[in-house]
Each structure stands twice: as structure tokens, then as C-alpha cells.
Amino acid sequence: MGDLLLLVLACAAGTYLWRALGVAVAGRLDPDGEVFTWMACVALAMVAGLVSRMLIEPVGVLATTSLGVRLAATACGLVVYFVVTRRNLLAGVLAGCVALVLLQTLR
């Protein structure tokens, strides 16, 4: 049991390292400068890359659904969020999840 706690502490330290490094770098960064704009682009592209990877090439339980089912469910979420509820995030997310479950059971 002590071993597991040690594992967790070591993983936490390995994660915090990057957080601290980010704060240290930020101290030398001008939020109106070009380097900042570039880093914001990198961070956003990273998140977007992860999201599209999860939707197009998922691992784990999501991999049991077909690409068509996932894209149709995503479309439901987008329509409910942007059109039906005019940017109600919770409604959009729930609509996407419900659509996924329904499409998967009806398949």
C-alpha cells in the first residue's frame, strides 16, 4: 500500500514539474507579444488535436462505436448547442451523449 502512495507522489511530482515550468516561463512573457500569440496557438492546437483524435480514432470503450455513430452524435451536440438552445453547454453535451447511446443501441 505504501508503494502505491509512493507511485502516486512520484507521478504527481512529474506532472507538477511542467506546471511550475509554465509559471516560470510566463514571468518573462509579454501577453501582448508575438511569442505569447504563438504559444496560445500551440496550446489550442494541442487541445483541438486531442479532441479530434478522440472523436476520429478513439481508444477504449468509444472504439466499440463506428465513426458514423460518433459523427452523427457530435452533429446532434453541435445543433443543440448552437441552434436549438443558443449556447447551453450542458444541453449540448447531454444531447451528444444521449444521441450516442441511442444510435449505439438502435444499430
Residues 21-60 that bind another protein (CB under 8 A): 21-23, 25-27, 29-32, 34, 36-58, 60
Q: Check binding of 66 to another protein (CB under 8 A).
A: no
Among 71, 83, 84, 101, binds another protein (CB under 8 A): 101
| Shortest Cβ 68–another protein spacing (Å) | 14
Q: How far apart are CA 90 and CA 96, in angstroms?
A: 10
| 79, 72 Cβ separation under 8 angstroms | no
Q: Is 59 helix (H, G, I), strand (E, B) or coil?
A: coil
Query: Residue 28: CB partners within 8 Å, gap ≥ 6?
Result: none
Quick one: which of 66, 68, 71, 82 contacts another protein (CB under 8 A)?
Answer: 82
**Which amino acid is residue 18, in one-letter code?**
W
CB of 70 to another protein, least distance (A): 8
